[in-house]
Structure 1
Amino acid sequence: MEEPEKKEIENNIQTAEAEAAEKSGKSEQDITREENTEAENEKNTEDAPEALCQETAAETDKTADTDKTADGDETTGEGAGEDTAEKTNGRRRKILYIAAGCVAALVFVYLGIAAYFSSHYLFNTEINGHDMTGKTVKQAEELLKEDIDEYVLELKEIDGSSETISGGEAGLMYESAAGLQRNMESQDIFLWPRALFRSSTDEVEIEVAYDADKLGEKIDSLHAVTGEQTPPVSAYPKFDGKQYVIEPEQYGTAIQRDVLEEKIAGAIEKLEGSLDLEAEKCYADPAYLSTSKEVKDACDLMNQHCSARIVYPMNEEVVVDAPVISGWITVNDKMQVKIDEEAVRLWLEEFGDKYDTVGITRTFKTPAGKEATVSGGTYGWSINEDAEFDVIIDAVKNGKSLEREPEYYIGGTAAAHAMPDWGDTYVDIDLSAQHMWYVVDGSIALETDVVTGQPIPERITPEGTYSILEKGRNQVLVGSIDPSTGEPSYRTPVSYWMRVTWSGIGLHDATWQPAFGGTLNQIPGRGSHGCINMPLDQAAALYDMLEMGTPVVIHY
């Protein structure tokens, strides 16, 4: 160690000894001597460079003297050694006293800081978002009260808009925060240095009170309450073109007022920053959700109904399958599935209108090559819609698949579905030409002139498409009753009778006619009562060839 440094350490030690002497009651003389020593030390410090040289020289001389003493005087060497040891021990004691004083001071400071933190929050303490370092519980409460004054609750609505309720609008007031004191008491104050290197974050529950009347008035003024209230829509089975799938529910904007107030009050009590009205079920709930068993069961049943398939082989296939059946199935607000029978009957009516041909107007070409039309009559397709209704309902309820001709009324069938529906075998009677043809498989098998009804309302031969309803030999044709006599207007025997209508129109021989064709039917007494008069031989030939049910087309 260099001498100036050594000197400075000795001066510091002497200063400490002076302080210790003062505390231990040394004499004034000693104190004076020590003060002089201290002054000398200060001077030595100022003259350090010069003193260093002098001290170095003195040490050299001292060493030489010591060597002399050691060589020439043994007694003198022993005394010097004892004095040096005593000085060394004294210095050690002084150092120990200083160290002990420093430790005592540090302990005092450490305990003092710990005592401070018994009533203040430690370093890096954060509570409810506030830095509470060095603050008392009361000071912390003041910060929390400021939060209450600035509190605002945001209401998030289903349509993406939002509204707010401030603490003032709810009459919000701070009451207490017991957690602040508990947090203070839970601090480990004797480990306060640790808080310098790590933070402590905590949330304490704040007790508040609000004015229920003021809050209620504010809620009643919210747009969510006063605006248009769209009711919720339950989940339901929806046909997607192939099958039924579950359409998810929709919540709408209809508010449950009591639930809304309950949820808002709860949010305010907890000082929450926002409230999602949809998530908190403040809107009216749909009766059924997409996960509801009732919706799933209804969807399954409707798909079972739609698995039915009915094929009608008309002139083109008519298929009753899922797209058609889905129009007949309904589900009510209690998820009860029902087949709409009126919808089925309406479909059958449209089906019949398209494929029923009885009485419709038909356009065709006569055997003579003339373009003609005919309407009316009793021949043609006539679907028995009542009977077919039962078949369809049974198939849909049970998911059946079948191919079938529709059921027809008695006589309500025809040779073909395509037009003309009488096919290739029929009787054609041209009222304008007073001529008839019997066509078999598209070829004329018989033709002849005829005499038809006199063209007056009570005798005219009816236009239309009919069929042979009855055949008979040697029949007596009886006219309607004459009111003046009470007897039939006529009784006429014929050899060959072929009935066309149940009202008395038919084909038969007429041996009383002098001729056939031309305009004889327009002459009173020559025109028939509505029947088709034929020559005897032609009537006989037709009778033998004609089958029951053969179509008869009567036209102009």
Structure 2
Amino acid sequence: MKRGKHARHAKEADVTAMPDAPRELGRDSAEPASPAAEPAGSHGAHAADSAADAALMNPVDVSAALAARRKRSGARVAALVMGALAGIVAVAYLAGAVAFWHWFPPGTTLGPLDVSLKSPDEAARIIDAGASRYTVKVTGGGFSYQADSALIGAQIDAAALVARMHERLNPFAWPMLLAKPHHDMSDLLTASYNASGLSDSVTKAVEAFNEKAQAPVSAQVAYDSATSSFQVRKERFGTALNVDAVLELVDHAIVSMQPVARITEGQLQAPAVSADDERVSSARDEANAMLRADVRVTIDGDEVARVNADKVAAWVSIDDDYQVSLDEDGLRSDMEAAFAPYNTVGATRTYTRPDGRTFTVSGGVYGWSVDSDKAVEDVLAAVREGSVTEVAVGFASKGAQPSVNGGPDWGDRYVDVDLGAQHATFYDGGRVIWESDIVSGEPDGVHYTPTGVWWTNRKASPTTLNGYEGDKKIYSTEVSYWMPFQGNAIGFHDAPWQAAFGGTRYRDGFGSHGCVNLPPAAARDLYAVLQEGDCVVVHG
């Protein structure tokens, strides 16, 4: 056949040409070997068959195929190994899950109880035993208390507790459980106990401790002399315990079966008021406002007292409710001490009469008297307003002259009543303008004539004198001349009923009820020269 013939020829041509293959191909190698040209119609077919035959005759490289075969074989082996390992892991995982379904993982604790690698039943028995032996000690801050198991009477539902532990410790997550060294289940503990009996016991122990403990101190407002101002002092904890807080601490320890409960600041009695309380700062500001006062207290232009911050601070007080008050009594006392040298009323004075005799007298209402009520009111107002000012002090009464070194302040016009001599003398400018024997009050401790320096209060002519003992009138006597010097009760008056005057009649049963009895003529003459406001000096 024609195609077969061409194929054979092509194969033979290839074999014939093989010895020349090494030569460099050029134009000569492209020349046809046959002497006669092929018909035009068969040339294309022959060329295609030659190319196909040439391709079939080329050498084949099998190394890539072998490598692919080896790769496919390794993958199958690896898959088999991985499958085997996965099976082993699955079996181990399931085995672990089964194991930790029946035992708790290592490091599992309930407060002081260790249930590591224990079965639920074993764990329940440990829990029951722990509850029956449980004691708690409360200590800290000098306080120590221990409650034994009999007093506590702790009880735990062990079965329910174990169930809650299993819910938290998922056995299927056992690899993670093993990775964590500790599993504290204390927060699941909910022990019940003899709350009433234990509460009484703890309360008694705390109260006994508090008897000698230091109580807390609330924030205070106190004067600081270094800054001349009131400052806030922070509150301070003491050592006294808060019963309720200690009971709460014990309760927390018992329900979680902690063996020791530590006293901290949280169990101390807290100060009632802290430094940041608005009442504290308000009291401080109110007190400091008064410290701004600076008051010069003067008498006749002379400074007798200076009221400044240090002085005011002694009068300011702040109570437990942080109410600020000014000690008016203290202020008055201090002011009166400053005024004392200027007050002669009632003071002891020594004088020499024109006849050369010297006497000492005290008491009475005559003399210099600072108007302390008005002065104190003015100083109080200035302090409350925090004013810088001067308070000029006046006198409620004035003597005729200043008292120098305890001397007389009544000048040289006065009536001298000498009870010892039973004689009265009116001096004016060093001379006697009137005198008379007298009968004074009976010296029985009730009807005596009071000594002292007095003012003549008024004059009346005539008038009726009424005497009383309590509410009972004991006499009513009309007199022609009445010149009282102690209120309207004791004074000079005519006494026509007296048979004589002077001597010892006043103590021989003829003494008056306290007045100075005069002969009618002497009373008339005294009434003529005595003026309201004249000084009367009565001495023994």
> Structure 2 length normalisation: TM-score?
0.52
- The CA distance in 1 between the partners of 2:84 and 2:347, in whole Å, is 125
What pairs up with 1:341-352 in 2 under 5 angstroms? 341-352=328-339
Conserved 8 A contact 2:305-2:335? no
- The answer to whether the aligner puts 1:391 opposite 2:372 as a matched pair is no
Say which of 472, 477, 483 aligns to 2:496.
483
How far residue 399 of structure 1 moved from its aligned partner, in angstroms, is 1.9
**Which of 482-491 and 176-185 deviates more?**
482-491
**Which of 274-283 and 333-342 deviates more?**
274-283
- Do the aligned partners of residues 243 and 499 (structure 1) sit closer, same or farther apart at CA in structure 2, a change above 3 Å counting? same
- Do the aligned partners of residues 372 and 275 (structure 1) sit closer, same or farther apart at CA in structure 2, a change above 3 Å counting? farther
- The CA distance in 2 between the partners of 1:117 and 1:371, in whole Å, is 124
Q: Which residue of 1 aligns with 2:282?
A: 297
Output the amino acid matched with 1:305. Answer: M
- The CA distance in 2 between the partners of 1:448 and 1:355, in whole Å, is 26
Output the amino acid matched with 2:230. Answer: Y
Say which of 138, 141, 147 aligns to 1:155.
138
Conserved 8 A contact 2:456-2:534? no
How far residue 290 of structure 1 moved from its aligned partner, in angstroms, is 3.1
- The answer to whether the aligner puts 1:114 opposite 2:93 as a matched pair is yes
How far residue 224 of structure 1 moved from its aligned partner, in angstroms, is 0.7
Output the amino acid matched with 1:408. Answer: F
Q: Provide the secondary structure at the position in 2 that maps to 1:162.
A: strand
CA deviations 1:511-548 (Å, max 9, x no partner) are xxxxxxxxxxxxxxxxxxx9xxxxxxxxxxxxxxxxxx
- The answer to whether the aligner puts 1:502 opposite 2:534 as a matched pair is yes
Say which of 304, 308, 331 aligns to 2:293.
308
Q: Which residue of 1 aligns with 2:182?
A: 201
- Do the aligned partners of residues 363 and 316 (structure 1) sit closer, same or farther apart at CA in structure 2, a change above 3 Å counting? farther
Conserved 8 A contact 2:401-2:411? no
Q: Provide the secondary structure at the position in 1 that maps to 2:92.
A: helix
- The answer to whether the aligner puts 1:335 opposite 2:316 as a matched pair is no
Say which of 254, 276, 280 aligns to 1:268.
254
**Structure 2: stretches of 5+ with no match in the other structure:** 1-72, 419-428, 441-449, 458-482, 484-491, 499-518
- The answer to whether the aligner puts 1:403 opposite 2:435 as a matched pair is no
- The CA distance in 2 between the partners of 1:250 and 1:195, in whole Å, is 48
How far residue 376 of structure 1 moved from its aligned partner, in angstroms, is 6.1
- The CA distance in 2 between the partners of 1:287 and 1:337, in whole Å, is 18
Q: Which residue of 2 aligns with 1:89?
A: none
CA deviations 1:409-454 (Å, max 9, x no partner) are 13269658x746889x97699x99xxxxxxxxxxxxxx97879967
- The CA distance in 1 between the partners of 2:331 and 2:375, in whole Å, is 10
How far residue 390 of structure 1 moved from its aligned partner, in angstroms, is 1.8
- The CA distance in 2 between the partners of 1:395 and 1:137, in whole Å, is 84
CA deviations 1:397-418 (Å, max 9, x no partner) are 22223222323213269658x7
- The answer to whether the aligner puts 1:170 opposite 2:152 as a matched pair is yes
Q: Which residue of 2 aligns with 1:318?
A: 305
Q: Which residue of 1 aligns with 2:222?
A: 238
Output the amino acid matched with 2:184. Answer: E
Conserved 8 A contact 1:171-1:215? no
Conserved 8 A contact 1:152-1:165? yes
Identity %: 20
Q: Provide the secondary structure at the position in 2 that maps to 1:386.
A: helix
Conserved 8 A contact 2:382-2:388? yes
- Do the aligned partners of residues 338 and 414 (structure 1) sit closer, same or farther apart at CA in structure 2, a change above 3 Å counting? farther
- The CA distance in 2 between the partners of 1:376 and 1:96, in whole Å, is 133
Conserved 8 A contact 1:124-1:131? no
Output the amino acid matched with 2:136. Answer: L
Q: Provide the secondary structure at the position in 2 that maps to 1:489.
A: helix
- The CA distance in 2 between the partners of 1:222 and 1:261, in whole Å, is 11
RMSD: 5.8
- The CA distance in 1 between the partners of 2:233 and 2:277, in whole Å, is 12
Q: Which residue of 2 aligns with 1:3?
A: none
> Structure 1 length normalisation: TM-score?
0.51
- The answer to whether the aligner puts 1:361 opposite 2:343 as a matched pair is no
Q: Which residue of 2 aligns with 1:437?
A: none
- The CA distance in 2 between the partners of 1:413 and 1:337, in whole Å, is 44
- Do the aligned partners of residues 457 and 202 (structure 1) sit closer, same or farther apart at CA in structure 2, a change above 3 Å counting? farther
- The CA distance in 2 between the partners of 1:327 and 1:255, in whole Å, is 35
